[in-house]
Structure 1
Amino acid sequence: MHSIFLRYLDETARQGSIRKAAAVLNVSSTAVNRKIIAVEEQLGVRLLSRTAEGVELTAAGRIVLEHCRRTLMEYRQVQLRLGDIRDLRAAHIGIATIDSVSMEFLPRVLDLFQQEHSATSFTINHCQPEEVMSAVAAGEADIGVSFLLDLHPDVRAVARRGAAIGIILRADHPLAERSSLSVHDIADYTLVRTTDARGRHSIIDQVVTDSMVQSQATLFTNSLPLARQMILAGRGIGLYTRLGFLSELESGSLRFVPLDAQQLNDLRIGVLISSKRPLEPASAVMCDMIADRLKRLNLG
């Protein structure tokens, strides 16, 4: 049914009169009457009972009016949401994320977002997974992207994706064609891994360190760009997710080989927001975009 009819029937029901409805709508009463009669003929039912005092809805008319008002309300809600999106120009979005996300994935999403909303400003901080969680819970960040370990009670994940930690190595490395590797398979090679995933609570330490030979050379660094250059130079093999090496994996210069460690293969990454506070319109659009792009990645 045409949107004009929706307004005509709604106002006629409110006024109890076609003439009064036409006056409110600033159209002729003939136009209102003709439109309603045309829809009655189309539906094959009478919507109005016309009397000398005015009009009353028939049973069919009440059903159609319910549809009209629901449709008009939904349309107004759409208009409000579109207005919010148009007003993103003055928005500021805070994002807390682990470093691998900010290497390539997040810049790609930011580029897409700013094509439509170029004046939106951002604060982006690198954090440890537990710090990402705390920042979102405390309202210091609108959105978090991190491994999903123990969720804070004030935080919820709006998107989840498997993000296994495995071995990153050059395409010409002797182990590059393997379908999977054990900790003992990598014992003779210098291992490049993050400084941040160390300590008694580290899943990597629980899986890898206990099985490594004591003499294995290891390069610990909190710099993912340095780790990437060392791996590309053939100075070691990395212990990371795919996230920080997207371009190299896409081009084929680096390979990802899963490690035979269930705990590392079961890791998941997610998009986090507060469970206590609603997102502002700009942050909601950005959150949806991050979630959508995350789902498209090959992180297995």
Structure 2
Amino acid sequence: MDTHALSAFIEVADTGSFSRAGERLHLSQPAISKRIAALEDALGQPLFDRVGRRIDLTDAGRTLLPHARRVLAELEDARRALSRLSGTVSGRLSIGTSHHIGLHRLPPVLRSYTQAYPDVDLDIHFMDSEDACEEVAQGRLELGIVTLPGEPPEVLRMHTVWRDPLSVVVAPGHPLATSGSPSLRELAAHPAVLPDARTYTHRIVMRALQAHGVAPRIRLSTNYLETLKMLVAIGLGWSVLPRSMLDDSIVALDRPELALSRDLGAVWHRGRTRSGPAQALLGLLGVSV
């Protein structure tokens, strides 16, 4: 059975779309359709019901899906095991990381890595940490370098690489910047611009504020910390950002009772074989597994 066809089948099942599956696999929609048609011909049964724009798995498709996932996972494990047996660090390493970590933490690590292991093809995907963790859990990525979840899925192992202290920040001309040391109640009276509600960072901030009985008035939210920094700098509201992002465009407020921080680090699948390239990168990050 063609593994490329199985990959296309899984992506269509996961996304509910031939075009989105094509985007994930870097293929055209007709190419995806051709692979699905070939798989259906080989099995002698339709795998999807196509009603208008809706695509649903048939009974045959639902039966095949867990088997297809296991087949591809076993093949990927075999590839990783063989890469470790070869004695050389080479091949492909698929990584998911956030834009913030990719910009502010990973460059020196990846520079050292590519110099030490020039035969590794790095396949780097920039995405939200939450999505990267899910991709690793599903076996589509081998490693995630992410903001670590407070309650990770059971299938994931994780290791803290960097502690990332956070600060409440405002624009230099914001009323809170000139009021000495504003209370949390005063802070809550002003609009906030915070990370999106589905992010781990948002949950860290909200838990800390709620512990002090404070409910922020959120004006807007976004996943990108660089965008939040710009919104703070133009005076749209206060936010919580990593201290590593502080510069003259924003002012940190002294709120020691919050003691905000998050953990950044690596996640990998507990039950999957790690490749030689993955082991080498984890070693550079100070992870011993």
Q: Tell me which interval the TM-score lies in, with the shorter structure as reference length.
A: 0.5 to 0.7
Equivalent residue for 2:137?
A: 137
* Equivalent residues of 1:183, 1:260 under 8 A apart: no
SS of alignment partner, residue 236 of structure 1? coil
Q: Structure 2 CA distance, aligned partners of 1:116 and 1:281?
A: 13
Q: Structure 2 CA distance, aligned partners of 1:137 and 1:207?
A: 28
Matches within 5 A, 1:53-132: 83-85=87-89, 88=90, 91-118=91-118, 120-129=121-130, 131-132=131-132
Matches within 5 A, 1:146-295: 146-170=147-171, 182-197=183-198, 202-208=203-209, 211-212=214-215, 216=217, 218-242=219-243, 246=244, 248-249=245-246, 253-257=249-253, 259=255, 265=260, 267-291=262-286
Q: Structure 1 CA distance, aligned partners of 2:179 and 2:109?
A: 32
Q: 1:133 to 1:226 in 2, by over 3 A?
A: closer
Over aligned residues, Cα RMSD in angstroms?
3.9
Amino acid at match of 1:139: G
* Equivalent residues of 2:169, 2:239 under 8 A apart: yes
What displacement does 1:272 show?
A: 1.3
SS of alignment partner, residue 279 of structure 2? helix
How does the TM-score come out when normalised to structure 2? 0.53
Structure 2 gap segments, 5+ residues each: 1-83
- Which structure is larger by alpha-carbon Rg, 1 or 2? 1
Q: Per-residue displacement from partner, 1:47-102 (whole Å, max 9, x unpaired)?
A: xxxxxxxxxxxxxxxxxxxxxxxxxxxxxxxxx999423xx3xx222222344323
Q: Structure 1 CA distance, aligned partners of 2:87 and 2:260?
A: 43
Amino acid at match of 2:88: D
Q: 1:169 to 1:151 in 2, by over 3 A?
A: same
Work out the number of aligned pairs and report it.
Answer: 199
SS of alignment partner, residue 112 of structure 1? helix
Once the two structures are overlaid, the 10-residue window that deviates more, 134-143 or 156-165, is 156-165
Amino acid at match of 2:240: L
Q: 1:172 to 1:95 in 2, by over 3 A?
A: farther
* Equivalent residues of 1:197, 1:204 under 8 A apart: no
* Equivalent residues of 1:158, 1:273 under 8 A apart: no
* Equivalent residues of 1:198, 1:204 under 8 A apart: no
Q: Per-residue displacement from partner, 1:243-289 (whole Å, max 9, x unpaired)?
A: xxx3x43x555454564565x73643331122222321212222233
What displacement does 1:193 show?
A: 0.9
How does the TM-score come out when normalised to structure 1? 0.51
